[in-house]
Amino acid sequence: MFTALHFAIIAPFLAAILVPILYKLVSRIHTGWFVLLVPFLLFIYFIQFLPITSNNESVTAVFDWIPSLGISFAAYVDGLGLLFALLITGIGSLVVLYSIYYLSKEKESLNNFYVYLLMFMGAMLGVVLSDNLIVLYTFWEITSISSFLLISYWYEREKSRYGALKSMLITMLGGFAMLVGIVLLYQMTNTFSIQEIAASSSEILNHPLFLPAMLLILLGAFTKSAQFPFHIWLPDAMEAPTPVSAYLHSATMVKAGIYLVARLSPVFAFSGEWLWLVAGFGITTLFWGSFSAVRHTDLKAILAYSTVSQLGMILSMLGVGAAALHFDSIDNNLYIGATAAALFHLINHATFKGSLFMMVGIVDHETGTRDIRHLGGLMTVMPITFTIAVIGSFSMAGLPPFNGFLSKEMFFTAMLNITTFNLFSVDTIGIVFPIVAWIASIFTFIYSMIIVFKTFGGKLQLNKLPSKPHEAPFGMLISPLVLISLVIVFGFFPNILSYTVIAPAMASILPSVLANGEQFHVDIYFWHGWTLELFMTLGVVALGSLLYLSIRKWSGVYSLFPETLSFNKLYDQTLFTGERAASRITGLYMTGSIRHYLVYIFIFFTAILIATLFGKDALTLTTDNTAPVSVHELILAAMLIFSALTVMFASKRMTVLISLGVTGYTVALFFVIFRAPDLALTQLIIETVSVALFLLCFYHLPNITKDLKKVRFQTGNFIVSLAVGITITLIGISANGTRLFESISGFFPEASYDLAGGKNMVNVILVDFRGTDTLFEILVLGIAALGIFTMIKLRLAGRDRL
């Protein structure tokens, strides 16, 4: 049954259809004002689920899609899904509001921008609110496509096209791997429902497909959330407009991989490999992202690598938090805090990173550059933007009294607690985690200070700025100010989130830890005494400040990592080598000769079919249960053979065309004899139209007698054509003499009217019994028609420009 929850998920898609219409009809008003209503109303709608999820309850709405394949549009709202839905719609509302002032309706194609943005919003809602893995995967790939369109929005720029292609190739590669993992999960559990799979997790733990499924699904999650070494797409994706960066790459798309890991933790987290892979890749990404951010001079690039780092931090906490599933109760469990920290930092990251991206957009918009080598001294001319930068950056650096400090302290606690875990050798090798976490936090502090003081401190360099700097209009400041306010509010009053969103989300990730009636205890506060975590923070500030002040003396260390040995270079070289190899291979068979193409097709066709016939012992030569051949059928067969031979040896084009027509009409007569009037009618129409058109075209051409004398007997053509004829004959005879299943010919006459209410059996088969197949055929024709229309339109437009 289709419900309001289903409508909420597809509402952005429906709104995207209306955007081009509104863009044309109401051109005086910025299209963003209409689009703003969609995420805002959805945010209000999803808030209504908070009382339900706060009681560890959930809401499920199922709409059958393809029940025979176990695929249903099952919308599922629990604590985890609601948390992400609120982030998607809440941050989405602020991003749309910001874009209204950032993107000019006179200079930009706003209809395209908002269509892509709404597509992405709907796809993300589908990902986080789908219980069926196939439906989740469908929305997952739509996020990749829509993000590709958003990143390449300024497609005139080569860097935008490059970044869009890079993100799509890497994320879709992971998506395909994830699909294989989903299929393996289905093979183990015989269901696509996430909740049902989680319920049977203990039964599949020792299954031989368990580890391959886990690795493939993690590959999809790691590529989407930009984990090392797949992180290389995220910095290049920063060529997108700033509202896109603030939305996709800080609060939503990159968090899809985080969501998948969290959602499937009840399925895989009982395995030691899960803990090591998730926590290991996360902590590696945390260090590499923070270390790489310091070397860059573009503000967006710094934020891009900081996003990579922060995503690794969240993932590492989810990996450590998986240890809690190895306990039967929440009593004395040190690892529950890691999951709470991951969820808290997920929210915090969306607030401070979203505001920082918007801040960078304002700086770029008002000064014309993002290069910190040209910036400086903006504190006095852009005081509000400076305030946003200070609060956001200090929160990202983990400094009090902001929310980032709280989640960073919880992160240190989680990394220290992992050393006490006496499973999977974590208690020995696990000492690496807090050490790497502390070092990475130092670099996080450094690049946070770079963002603030290199941009707003020092002297104002007007001669290096393309535009004279000034404060942004108030409309552009509203969204970052709202996010910065949340940074402060969640810092001073973090327990607003404790039992409304964090604890319910924890119940979704760690369901087996809770007993009946239990609830996670989440109490977040500033002062814990003089703990090791506090001394780690003091060390971060002290050493980070020293390294920031002396950055010129040690920044040469980055020269030890030359660009020629980077993962970006590896990606470029792989792409170049693949393109060159594909070009050479394609050049071998794409000769421009139709004869060559037909020879390739027919050789492959006959080889596969003959091998299957003999390899599967499917060749059956029998005349049992065959009807007698009448005289008129023999006459028609003789006519068919004679007309086909005439085509081969005719010396005039008119004779060839008439012979082809005789061949087609004879086949139509066979359809009539075999009681297939629909096929006969179709064949007659096609032959009549084809012969008439050929006659109109070829009547004025010269005879082919002279050309025919030059044509020699082609042994290769004869062998290929003979092989095709023999293959088709053997298949026809074998099919006639083989019955693997009981014939269904008796089913359709009776079921056509009773089940489908139609008297025309052929129409009923096409529309009802084979409805999905017919639907996709229509879809293919529609895509082809749109492609042809687009090419014609572009060609005409090109002529107009000439």
Tens digit of pLDDT for each residue in 541-550? 999 999 999 9
What is the phi/psi pair of residue 205, to 5°? -60, -40
Handedness of CA 17, 22, 25, 27 (dihedral sign): negative
Q: Between residues 82 and 738, which one has the greater pLDDT?
A: 82
Do residues 448 and 331 share a domain?
yes
Query: Is 771 inside a domain boundary?
Result: yes
Mean pLDDT to the nearest integer, 362-385: 91
Cα separation of 169 and 155, whole Å?
17
Query: Band of the pLDDT at 540, cuts 50, 70, 90?
Result: very high
Give pLDDT, residue 59. 93
Do residues 664 and 801 share a domain?
no
> Residue 526 pLDDT more than 80?
yes
- How long a stretch of residues is the chain? 802
Do residues 517 and 663 share a domain?
no
- Per the structure, how many domains does the chain have? 3
Give pLDDT, residue 645. 84
The model's pLDDT over 692-707, given as tens digits with 9 standing for 90+, comes to: 877 777 666 665 555 5
Give pLDDT, residue 361. 92
Q: Are 312 and 281 in contact (CB under 8 A)?
A: yes
Query: Band of the pLDDT at 341, cuts 50, 70, 90?
Result: very high
> Residue 638 pLDDT more than 60?
yes
Cα separation of 247 and 359, whole Å?
13
Give the least confident one: 14-23, 310-319, 411-420, 554-563: 554-563
Do residues 681 and 786 share a domain?
no
Cα separation of 111 and 118, whole Å?
11
Residue 698 buriedness (CB in 10 A; 0-12 / 13-18 / 19+): middle
Do residues 450 and 317 share a domain?
yes
Do residues 695 and 773 share a domain?
no
Range of the domain at 698: 629-703
Give the least confident one: 298-307, 604-613, 685-694, 778-787: 685-694
Give pLDDT, residue 539. 95
Do residues 284 and 396 share a domain?
yes
Copy the structure tokens of residue 307.
């996003």
- Of 662, 679, 703, the residue that ends a domain is 703
Mean pLDDT to the nearest integer, 97-104: 92
Give pLDDT, residue 517. 63
Mean pLDDT to the nearest integer, 247-264: 88
pLDDT > 70 in the chain, percent:
93
Cα separation of 185 and 194, whole Å?
10
Query: Is 602 inside a domain boundary?
Result: no
pLDDT > 90 in the chain, percent:
48
Query: Is 132 inside a domain boundary?
Result: no
Q: Which residue has the tokens 């039992």?
A: 499
- How high is the mean pLDDT of the chain? 87
> Residue 76 pLDDT more than 50?
yes
> Residue 13 pLDDT more than 90?
yes
Copy the structure tokens of residue 78.
């629990």
Query: Is 713 inside a domain boundary?
Result: no
Q: Between residues 486 and 565, which one has the greater pLDDT?
A: 486
Query: Is 428 inside a domain boundary?
Result: yes
Do residues 418 and 500 share a domain?
yes
Do residues 383 and 286 share a domain?
yes
Query: Is 599 inside a domain boundary?
Result: no
- Of 686, 703, 720, the residue that ends a domain is 703
Give pLDDT, residue 802. 47
Mean pLDDT to the nearest integer, 712-717: 74
> Residue 285 pLDDT more than 90?
yes
> Residue 515 pLDDT more than 70?
no
Give pLDDT, residue 545. 95
Do residues 533 and 651 share a domain?
no
Mean pLDDT to the nearest integer, 64-75: 87
Mean pLDDT to the nearest integer, 21-46: 91
Mean pLDDT to the nearest integer, 236-258: 87
Do residues 321 and 422 share a domain?
yes
> Terminus-to-terminus CA distance in the chain, angstroms?
55
List b or e across 308-345, with b for residues whose CB sees 16 or more CB atoms inside 10 angstroms: bbbbbbbbbbbbbbbbbbbbeebeebbbbbbbbbbbbb
- Of 531, 549, 567, the residue that ends a domain is 549
Q: Whole-prediction pTM value?
A: 0.82
> Residue 436 pLDDT more than 80?
yes
Give pLDDT, residue 617. 77
Give pLDDT, residue 261. 95
Query: Band of the pLDDT at 128, cuts 50, 70, 90?
Result: very high
> Residue 96 pLDDT more than 70?
yes
Give pLDDT, residue 333. 64
Query: Is 557 inside a domain boundary?
Result: no
Give pLDDT, residue 328. 57
Do residues 683 and 777 share a domain?
no
Query: Band of the pLDDT at 689, cuts 50, 70, 90?
Result: confident
Query: Is 737 inside a domain boundary?
Result: no
